[in-house]
Structure 1
Amino acid sequence: MSTTTAQRTAAPVSMANAGYRTLWRWHFYAALFVMPFLVILAITGTLYCFQPQIEPLLYPHRLIVEPQATPTLTQDTLLAKARAAMPADAAAVTAVIAQAPDRSAEFIFRLADGEKQSVYVNPYSGEVLGTLSVEHRFIQVDRMLHRKLLLGKPGELLMELAACWTLVMIGTGVALWWPREKTTAKDALVPRFALKGRALWKNLHAVMGIWLALGALAFVLTGLPWSGSWGKQFKALATRANLGAPAGSWGGLPLRSTLPGTQASIQGQPMHHMDNAHDSKMESMPGMVMDDLPLPITPWAVGNAPVPASADTRALQALPLGPVVALVASLGVTRGYNLVLPASPSGVYTVSYFPDDPQQERTLYLDQYSGAVLKDIRYGDYGAVSKAVSYGTSLHMGRYFGVANQILCAAISLGLAGMAATGCVMWWKRRPQRSLGAPARERCAPPMRGWKSGLVLLGIVFPLMGATLLAVWLADRTIFGRASRQAA
């Protein structure tokens, strides 16, 4: 009787936990791959979030100047000072129009070997404050670690895979945490510090995970559109569905190309309004897109947009930098933007304004001879997908609502690094010798059709992940499966 009673009482428990080990096994595989990358993403992402605070501390003598009551020197004078400090074969490619009166003027030059260097000039005195390598400055190295592990395309694909597998880790983690039997909401959401040993680490891991799950999901979904493989395909698909970049940014009609009024001039030169983008001289330069320009970052919606060309009128003198900056200010963009200088007789002045508020994003192309606005792309011109990505990017980078956004992003990022640490401790405490330590396979696992359908769907939406999912499944059935059955 005691045996029969025990079997009857054990049956509900067994049914209640059916599928638990299967979920745990997949959670283990996902975490095994993701956790090292998650630590790197957490640390580099937190540092990048605080770029506005970190860089002035690292380079105060280059970036920071004493504000003065006297007017600043003209942009052309400052550019000439910067040019004099560089080798004769260096080409000025970008002017960074400062956002605050205590910031130096920055000009980016491309050297003969292809390297880019920033030159910093005091806007009040014209004193050259120093230079910095664009590629090797601290925040840029941090950003490249975050995006591609400093490994180029292979690193970029690895980070994309890590982001996709994080979705598996989140899904299985939530399923494992889901309260079973008589577990109360308090037990599920509040750490139980009275526990000891591995039970305490498991409880901390589960509670931290459920509080961080939504933030981790938001990080993944807002970061994937910028990935090198899936992100590009997603952008192309959104564009074909008229939900991505505005039509004008892809070579169609110009957007907002007519300036207010009927005529304007810069230093006595008339500015003609360009209302027809199909003129042969207005076609985009072959292969040149916004992401090819020397810009630190551009709005997602216009990254692959072809750059238009100036009418190649070599008889006319190209406009100096100062009047162009004044024109941009008259169009409503006064400071805090990057201005790419024309690199050829048919090149254009390109304005990339990428502020904290996505609705203020702006991309302008100006004819270098007449100052005509060739294209003026604004947030309102974006498709629905691009608008959503713009907001997601601002939140992801900790820029949308100031310091509070930075702190929130840092808390989520460092919390995820803590999840990696607690997961490693749990594995270490239960690890078997000379074995991977994957949870044993269930002898009578339920069909779990919903879970399998979800994995298949993820594999279809993210093909690169689908290939690795299949590889892990085959390895689990052949290599790790034998060890699991022996352990069980």
Structure 2
Amino acid sequence: MSASATRAARPARPAGAVHPGYRTLWRWHFYAGLFVMPFLIVLAITGTIYCFQPQIEPLLYPQRLVVEPMAVPRLPADALLARARTAVPAGARAIRAHVDANPARSAEFAFALPGGVKESVYVNPYTGAVLGTLDAERRFMQIDRMLHRKLLLGKTGELLMELAACWTLVMIATGVALWWPRAGASWRAALTLPRPARRAPGGRLFWKRLHGVIGIWLAVGAFAFVVTGLPWTGSWGKQFKALATRANFGAPAGSWGSDPSMKSIVPGGGAAIGTDEHAGHDMSSMPGMVMDDLPLPNVPWAVGAVPVPQAADTAHPDHADTPRWTLDQVMSQMRALGVPGGYDIALPVSSTGVYTVSYFPADPRDERTVYIDQYNGSVLKDIRYENYGSVSQAISYGTSLHMGRYFGFLNQLICAAISMGLCALAVTGFVMWWQRRPARVNGMADGLGAPARERAAPPMRAWKAGLVVLGIVFPLMGATIVAVWLVDRFAAKRDAKKAAEQASKLSVS
């Protein structure tokens, strides 16, 4: 018997019939999408913009960031820092220096102003001319980053974005389950738009299939985006980092040097995001501080909870007569260590402070965190990728891929395609909801328009077990899962009561 005859012999599924459990999954997909939709659009747009930061920022601030390379030696870094000081008020403290290997980029120094504002000063490295300043918190990419991370709403926005990421996992899982071809449907048909849908681009069938096809092609990339972004969140990510550090499978092994006092990790110290989150701190290397507390724009995830060591020279409490190691000497040391540029230096601003060098390149295998004593120039710690635990090494690769840095412009394009695809999912999901939105009674919408419940839903033990595991791994997510379940149960009882009242009216009539 031919394949076509075999397919013809199969009993056809009744029109409108769905497999058991379909509507249950559809309801959870609906709830997840309803919550995630607006956040997904924000995440997609801000993430795409930030992915192209290397190309965008020089276009936004060309007078400050871009210089004309000259066939003369660059001025000493300490001389450039002295020039930068002339552009800020008296009493401002230098807290960070950026060392760029690009000859067409200016020298950048960050200062903590007396009023608490952080300001970056840009200097021509060939002439010493001050090119201008930028408020660190009002810089376009900083605003974009804070929108991406916390909607500019502080801790509340951070928790909302974390929840949106977790619920995206539910949306992906239920979406794949709903899409999965069944009852003789071909994989080719499931992965492409059907011809009837092409002929009716405005119909709900078109939007449903478009939504499904986009979703399945993006499922793996979207899942990777969520998984690689969660370790950097401010709630779960912070706790996960602390757990990884305490369990010694995420912290850099053997990176504590010879100082016994440095062998203990500060549990939960600092935030999970080592990216300008603590730019408000104008102190460095104070007792109990960790890397995430320093005013550095980028800190590798693996070292975020590492305590910052103190200066070794304690012979003179005030260090008034002790010679200081210069910025140029620090840069010379980094060149000797094989790092010519592309890193940031947190400057010591206290008598016990150290120079903290954070190198966060595109290839995670080259990541480097170096602590240099400000008095004698000794290297107190030198933490490299090979010192990381297996979890931190994996997260480092995930971070580089997530940010579109690992394999250059192609990585940026792939990240942008996934982000914009997620935005398209949110838009098509909204269109479908709008087309089947609930009727309005007396000017009010009759419910959210969630799919109808199954009268005899199967046990779906695997699905329930998955939700339980998700709730345990992500406690904040677990609390919202319970809340959604309770609301759904309440709605079920309300609908049952409404149906009983309607049946009673019909029987009376």
TM-score normalised by L of structure 1: 0.90
- In 2: Cα distance, 1:120 partner to 1:427 partner: 50
- In 2: Cα distance, 1:28 partner to 1:222 partner: 24
Contact 2:13–2:183 under 8 Å retained in 1: no
Establish whether residue 17 from structure 1 lines up as the match of residue 19 from structure 2: yes
- In 1: Cα distance, 2:106 partner to 2:496 partner: 62
Classify 1:112/1:344 alpha carbon distance in 2 versus 1 (closer, same or farther; 3 Å): same
Q: Deviations over 1:259-308 (max 9, x none)?
A: xxxxxxxxxxxxxxxxx31389x997432111111111200000111000
Structure-to-structure mapping, 1:96-175, within 5 angstroms: 96-175=98-177
- In 2: Cα distance, 1:487 partner to 1:119 partner: 69
Residue 303 of structure 1 corresponds to 304
- Say which of 205, 210, 233 aligns to 1:227: 233
Q: Deviations over 1:172-219 (max 9, x none)?
A: 000000001121111101122531200000000001000001011000
Establish whether residue 41 from structure 1 lines up as the match of residue 43 from structure 2: yes
Contact 2:287–2:310 under 8 Å retained in 1: no
Give identity over the alignment, percent.
Answer: 66
Q: Secondary structure at the match of 2:175?
A: helix
Amino acid at match of 1:57: L
Residue 57 of structure 1 corresponds to 59
- In 2: Cα distance, 1:163 partner to 1:144 partner: 16
Q: Deviations over 1:10-64 (max 9, x none)?
A: 8888986111111000000000000110000000000000000000000001000
Residue 81 of structure 2 corresponds to 79
- In 1: Cα distance, 2:190 partner to 2:368 partner: 46
Structure-to-structure mapping, 1:431-446, within 5 angstroms: 431-433=437-439, 434=445, 435-446=447-458
Q: 185-194 or 416-425: which moved more?
A: 185-194
Residue 461 of structure 1 corresponds to 473
Q: Deviations over 1:295-330 (max 9, x none)?
A: 112000001110000023413111121112111211
Contact 1:440–1:485 under 8 Å retained in 2: no
Amino acid at match of 2:453: R
Amino acid at match of 2:142: Q
Residue 282 of structure 2 corresponds to none
- Say which of 488, 491, 498 aligns to 1:476: 488
- Say which of 416, 421, 432 aligns to 1:426: 432
- Residue 241 of structure 1: how far off its partner (Å): 2.3
Classify 1:345/1:216 alpha carbon distance in 2 versus 1 (closer, same or farther; 3 Å): same
Residue 325 of structure 1 corresponds to 331
Runs of 4+ in 1 over 3 A off after TM superposition: 9-16, 282-285, 483-488
Classify 1:485/1:387 alpha carbon distance in 2 versus 1 (closer, same or farther; 3 Å): farther
Q: Secondary structure at the match of 1:398?
A: coil
- Residue 388 of structure 1: how far off its partner (Å): 0.3
Classify 1:481/1:405 alpha carbon distance in 2 versus 1 (closer, same or farther; 3 Å): farther
Establish whether residue 357 from structure 1 lines up as the match of residue 363 from structure 2: yes
- In 2: Cα distance, 1:307 partner to 1:13 partner: 66
Residue 244 of structure 2 corresponds to 238
- Give the aligned CA root-mean-square deviation in angstroms: 2.1
Amino acid at match of 1:231: G
Amino acid at match of 1:278: P
Unpaired stretches in structure 1, ≥5 consecutive residues: 1-8, 255-275
Amino acid at match of 1:80: A
- In 2: Cα distance, 1:149 partner to 1:279 partner: 39
- In 2: Cα distance, 1:374 partner to 1:224 partner: 31
Q: Deviations over 1:208-248 (max 9, x none)?
A: 00000101100000000001111111112212222111244
Residue 413 of structure 1 corresponds to 419
Residue 385 of structure 2 corresponds to 379
Residue 401 of structure 1 corresponds to 407
Q: Secondary structure at the match of 1:194?
A: helix
Residue 211 of structure 2 corresponds to 205
Amino acid at match of 1:211: W
Q: Secondary structure at the match of 1:46?
A: helix
Q: Secondary structure at the match of 2:381?
A: strand
- In 2: Cα distance, 1:279 partner to 1:29 partner: 50
Establish whether residue 292 from structure 1 lines up as the match of residue 293 from structure 2: yes
- In 2: Cα distance, 1:485 partner to 1:180 partner: 35
Amino acid at match of 1:363: T
Residue 281 of structure 2 corresponds to none
- Residue 422 of structure 1: how far off its partner (Å): 0.5
- Residue 85 of structure 1: how far off its partner (Å): 1.2
Classify 1:279/1:177 alpha carbon distance in 2 versus 1 (closer, same or farther; 3 Å): closer
Q: Deviations over 1:349-378 (max 9, x none)?
A: 000000000000000000001000000000
Q: Secondary structure at the match of 1:294?
A: coil
Q: Deviations over 1:47-96 (max 9, x none)?
A: 00000000000000100000010111110110000001111111000000
Q: Secondary structure at the match of 1:96?
A: strand
Q: 41-50 or 325-334: which moved more?
A: 325-334
- Say which of 363, 385, 389 aligns to 2:395: 389
Residue 271 of structure 1 corresponds to none
Amino acid at match of 1:59: Y
Residue 450 of structure 1 corresponds to 462
- In 1: Cα distance, 2:496 partner to 2:44 partner: 32
